[in-house]
Amino acid sequence: MHVSRLFIHPIKSCASLAVEHMEVRARGPHADRRWMLVDESGRFVTGRKLAPMVRLRAAPIPAGLQLGWDAETMRIAEPGGEHGRLQVTVWKSEVDAALADPAVSSWISERLGAPLRLVFMDARSERWASPERAGPGQPVSFADGYPYLMFGESALDAMNARIDPPVPAEAFRPNIVVAGNAAHAEDGWQRLRIGSISFRQTKPCVRCVFTTVDPQRGERRPDGEPLKSLRGYRLAEDGVLFGVNLVAESSGIIRLGDPVEVLDQ
């Protein structure tokens, strides 16, 4: 087995960015979900509510991001507190985040058609994953719950055999995609090693309506896929399951093509 694809999502719920290597850190991949859009009350906004968010591109640059919307681009700097701070809400978490330049938030708001503010998780920001699943003191970014998300190419292929047109991997917002395993074999992997770095599974990932948003068009699919098909064979007590959440047990770099070894099932 080996790593076939790697993704980061610099701004939560915005476009996925395919990368050739990934710096593994405790909080999550370097530059993954450290930025987030919030509404006027400071509550997080995602593609579940605002589907066009997936059309907003972001790529990390030194001490900032390069944003893209259609043919437009903009470079922005990581805020250092000069624009103030805001207590923001991500599910049940409260996070002290740094506000980005208001001009950037206005630029984004105009393109997405909603009043939004861009915030950044800097060195002062703290957020912790569920200790029941991840263990005590496990930091996490603005990701929904856990630092890493992984699934297998074969699981995607098995699902897409039921769907026309097929759904791309990006619709599931993964960090790591693995090739060479049986469909959904990752469900049973408790610990694994990718290259030289070990990971531990926290729980299977429960899927929501965000998976029905076309990553290219920024619109929900009218046929309700892939949830419609997944409910037929991946429905569990908690909901529709696809992929697994992970925490890293060590740090370093993983790359496309790195071997994947199951350590504990």
Asked if 92 and 147 sit in the same domain, the reply is: no
Asked if 103 and 164 sit in the same domain, the reply is: no
- The boundaries of the domain holding residue 110 are 34-120
Beta bridge partners of 67: 58, 74
Asked if 23 and 40 sit in the same domain, the reply is: no
Which residue's entry shows tokens 């990553």?
215
Tokens of 204: 């299977």
Asked if 135 and 242 sit in the same domain, the reply is: yes
Asked if 186 and 208 sit in the same domain, the reply is: yes
CATH number of the CATH domain containing 214: 2.40.33.20
Asked if 216 and 242 sit in the same domain, the reply is: yes
Residue 250 Cα distances to 15, 198, 202, angstroms: 27, 6, 15
Domain boundary among 62, 87, 120: 120
pLDDT tens track for 91-115: 999 999 999 999 999 999 999 999 9
Asked if 149 and 230 sit in the same domain, the reply is: yes
Residue 123 confidence class, pLDDT cut points 50, 70, 90: very high
- State mean pLDDT over 235-259: 97
Asked if 162 and 60 sit in the same domain, the reply is: no
125 in any annotated domain: no
Asked if 52 and 20 sit in the same domain, the reply is: no
| H helix or E strand, kind and range, residue 159 | helix 153-160
pLDDT tens track for 140-156: 999 999 999 999 999 99
Is this prediction's pTM over 0.85?
yes
Closest CA to 2 of 195, 135, 197: 195
Asked if 167 and 206 sit in the same domain, the reply is: yes
pLDDT tens track for 179-232: 999 999 999 999 999 999 999 999 999 999 999 999 999 999 999 999 999 999
210 in any annotated domain: yes
**DSSP letters spanning 149-197:** EEEEHHHHHHHHTT-SSPPPGGGG--SEEEESS-TTGGGG-SEEEETTE
